[in-house]
Amino acid sequence: MTDLAHIEASSERLGSFFACALLKPCVIVPAYEAEPTLGAVLDDLRRQVPEAPVLVVDDGSSDGTAQVARGRGVDVLRHEQNRGKGAALATGLRRARSRGFAVALTVDADGQHPATSAREVLFATTDARALVLAVRDLLGAGAPRANRFSNRVSNFFLSLFAERPLADTQCGLRRYPIDDTLALGARAEGYAFEAEVLLRAVRCGMPIVECPVPVLYPPPEERITRFDNLRDPMRIIAVVLRTVHELRHHR
């Protein structure tokens, strides 16, 4: 390594140290039946985001998801029954708050989010009150047409009701300000949790930062997803409509 490279590496480590001192971050990985992919996700996070302790929320898996996480020495919370991604995120956020963390980076367990992208989202801003949203290039990543369509539908409705453009409302790679997010009172337990949080965050004036990142889509025969591209967007829209009604009536 050249002297210049040493200096650059040292500067990056120093910058990360000060950013972590400001942010007090952790990583939350909601996981359901994720035994085939979770180990690689955790190993990747350990290499790329060593500054942030990892918490895995096993959402009622019947496979070895919890064992994979415990085998890598991370904190594991478990729902005895599958309750949905939103419930898993809320459980993780509450545990993170009890342990004194200020922000939580959320990373899906399916390996779609490279840890290099997670690191970019984590350090996108030093404002610990900001909600940071990863913005994926779905077309460039070769995402299936159904995924791109459902994402466009969600983006359209959330942008409409939030009264501001939002580039990627479905991506699970985010950085949440823990106290402020829990104070929003989001109730959705499934995938709609992320949409509800976003709407409530915009309405209460929480800073929103969008961070373009690469994303990985494996070949079709290797893809593992629990997201239904027809049913789940409809559920998200229903939660969005309910949330907008509540916000407009100050409930």
pLDDT-wise least confident of 22-26, 116-120, 146-150, 227-231: 227-231
The residue segments making up the domain with residue 120 are: 23-248
In a domain, 5, yes or no: no
151-174 pLDDT, tens digit per residue, is 888 889 899 999 999 999 989 999
pLDDT higher than 60, residue 186: yes
pLDDT higher than 90, residue 198: yes
In a domain, 14, yes or no: no
Q: What is the pLDDT of residue 18?
A: 64
Looking up tokens 């900001």 gives 130
Phi/psi region, residue 148 (left: phi>0; alpha: psi -120 to 50; beta: rest), is: alpha
In a domain, 192, yes or no: yes
pLDDT higher than 70, residue 105: yes
141 burial level (CB within 10 Å; 0-12, 13-18, 19+): middle
The single-letter code of the amino acid at 23 is: L
CATH code for position 157:
3.90.550.10
In a domain, 3, yes or no: no
Looking at residues 81-97, what average pLDDT do you find?
97
In a domain, 17, yes or no: no
14 burial level (CB within 10 Å; 0-12, 13-18, 19+): exposed
- Greatest Cα pair distance, the chain, in angstroms, is 61
Tokens for 217, please give them: 């889509």
199-215 pLDDT, tens digit per residue, is 999 999 999 999 999 88
In a domain, 133, yes or no: yes
- State the Rg of the chain over Cα: 18
In a domain, 89, yes or no: yes
How many domains is the chain partitioned into structurally?
A: 1
**149 compared with 65, residue with greater pLDDT:** 65
Q: For the whole model, what pTM was predicted? A: 0.87
Q: What is the pLDDT of residue 8?
A: 45
13-49 pLDDT, tens digit per residue, is 545 666 777 899 999 999 999 999 999 999 999 999 9
Q: Strands of the chain (E only): list them.
A: 25-31, 54-59, 75-79, 103-106, 131-136, 174-177, 208-213
In a domain, 35, yes or no: yes
The answer to whether the beta carbons of residues 86 and 188 sit under 8 Å apart is yes
Q: What is the pLDDT of residue 164?
A: 94
